[in-house]
Amino acid sequence: MGPNFNNISRVLSRIDEINRQFHTFQPPETNTQKSKFIDVMNDVQRARTKTKSNISGKTSYPELEDVISECAEKYNIDNELIRAMIQVESGWHTDAVSNKGAQGLMQLMPRTAAMLGVDDPFDPVQNIEGGVRYISDLTDKYRGDIEKALAAYNAGPARVDSGNIPDVSKRYVKNIMAIYRKLREVG
């Protein structure tokens, strides 16, 4: 049986479609040339990278203070709570990955990140925005009960709703609340 030309034709049509969609990302000097698909995709990647934060690896609060403050205000979550969560979740490592697959500063699970619209969980701005939005939603769900919201952030809302909060999640909540209280005292 020979090659299926219908499928090949569809793939080539899709490549042309993508090429047309992202034509605006090409550098001006290549606009007059017929570009290869890989060149178009590289241009798209470069354009996306320009919008990302240049912070990577180990960070600290001063480097992310503006992002944290904006998210705290936007989602009505205390700045100190966000800082405590980042400290416990990742130790301020933007590239952190847990043994269960949680990623970034606020340790978002891939499905949770996707649900929150986080395209790159290792981008600190996207990760913090997504994590703060999620804890805000959980705080609303549990009517302002921060400890329940934190337990749901760690173990999942289904476990909290069933009353089956694992011990590891209880310790997680205790640790965050201890740091949160200290940060509030310091101001």
Q: Which are the catalytic amino acids? A: 89
Cα distances (Å, whole numbers) of residue 17 to 22, 37, 50? 9, 10, 24
Cα distances (Å, whole numbers) of residue 163 to 83, 140, 156, 171, 181? 27, 18, 11, 16, 25
Beta partners for residue 58, in sequence order: 93
Helix axes 124-141, 79-90, angle to 10 degrees: 110
Gyration radius of the chain over CA positions: 22
Helix axes 146-155, 79-90, angle to 10 degrees: 30
